[in-house]
Amino acid sequence: MARQVYQAERIFDGSDWHEDAALVVEDGRVVDFTREKGVLLTGFIVPGLVDLQVNGGGGRLLNNAPTLETIHHMRLAHAGFGTTSIMATLITDGPDVTRAAIAAAKDAPGLLGLHLEGPHLDTARKGTHDPGLIRPMAADDLAVLLQAAKDLPHLICTLAPEAVGLEQVQALVGAGAVVSLGHTDCTHPTARAYTEAGASMVTHLFNAMSQMQHRAPGLVGAALSDSRLWAGLIADGFHVDDAVIQVALRAKDEIFLVSDSMSTIGSDQTSFTLNGRQIFRADGRLTLADGTLAGADIALLDAVRHVHLTLGLPLERALQLASLHPARALGLSDRGHLRPGARADFFCLMPGVKAGSCWIAGERVA
């Protein structure tokens, strides 16, 4: 790939701003910053966003069609909102669907990896997950996941201690999977024990988990007090109260934003189905018929906009929560920033925290 120079009024490299500078890209990587003239872009150049929980996009839901085509549509839909890396996420489903999703993710070019949210959860904290599909982890389930951890670029497994043993967690982590605690009513001591066994994430902090009380800290207390646990957070104005988000962000640095987006992103859908149940889209929310929240109707940039414009976080920190932080949580050193050596994933940040054009590995995709 030829040397390319992209010029902008401001460039955010993930830590610092460069004024009236240009980004030098070669072979899909950031080489340096320069003062020379290049292709003049409208807006600020900022690192591409990294979303570790993407259930769908562009009118497609991974559960409903776990195929390469679905993943391709999801990636393109989110690139239109500045997200350059996604973990395609499968919500609790049957073994055949899980195997199909693993196979599709294995062959999907450019995909960051697969996030299996369930089925090994606690039905007491099922959320929108179908309780009829939730089950304890059996030996066959573990074997499938251990092989997936070897075959996929990255694998996140959201699980509950009620359904998975410590030895199974140790085996998953040993194979290279990232274990995330979620959809659980576990106690604080149990959460600490599973962290000792290798769990390193918490899925959508505050939602579908044991809450923090003054004598029973629960999983929330473990997540906020233990720097070994990175916690994903849905900042859409519905899943978590704004005051609680502010408390969490003051409590620890190891937090990253997720979209938990469904098929509606980048589409005009007003409803869709998941596991045979209809989910309705209205007023920025996705719900089952009984009002249970069913994923989120946002792209990751919407969460950035919310914490910046509504909660008042500095733009730099808001961007880091959706780029540098999720990259670090997954152990990625070449994404989430634009320092020399990073993959050239970036987009043009427009007024109002909107997305303009977008590049992945130095190639314009939106």
Return d(Cα 228, Cα 230) in angstroms, integer: 7
Q: What stretch of H or E contains 163?
A: none
Instruction: Please name the helix (run of DSSP H) or strand (run of DSSP E) that holds residue 317, with its range, or none.
Output: helix 315-321
Count Cβ neighbours within 10 Å for each residue of 212-232 and write b for 16 or more, e otherwise.
beeeebbbbbbbbebeebbbb
Element (H, E) at 47: strand 44-47
Q: Based on the number of CB atoms within 10 Å of its own CB, is 355 exposed (0-12), middle (13-18) or buried (19 or more)?
A: buried
Q: CA 34 → CA 24, 38, 39, distances in Å? A: 7, 10, 13
Binding-site residue numbers for Zn(2+) are: 117, 183, 204
Answer yes or no: are the C-beta atoms of 179 and 202 closer than 8 Å: no
Residues 50 and 84: beta-carbon distance below 8 Å: yes
Beta-bridged to residue 280, according to DSSP, are 271, 287
CA-based torsion, 11, 328, 60, 261: positive or negative: negative
DSSP, collapsed to helix, strand or coil, labels residue 133 as coil
Q: List residues forming the annotated binding site for substrate.
A: 128, 207-208, 215, 239, 293-295
* Parallel/antiparallel/unpaired status of strands 60-61 and 56-57: antiparallel
Alpha-carbon distance values, 96 to 133, 155, 318, 366 (Å): 12, 18, 38, 34
**How far is 13 from 149, CA to CA, in rounded Å?**
31
Rounded to whole angstroms, how far apart are CA atoms 155 and 115?
6
Instruction: Verify whether residue 141 is a known catalytic residue.
Output: no
Annotated active-site residue in 141, 260, 297, 345: 260
Find out whether the peptide bond into 119 is cis, omega within 30 degrees of 0.
Answer: yes
Instruction: Kindly list the catalytic residues.
Output: 260
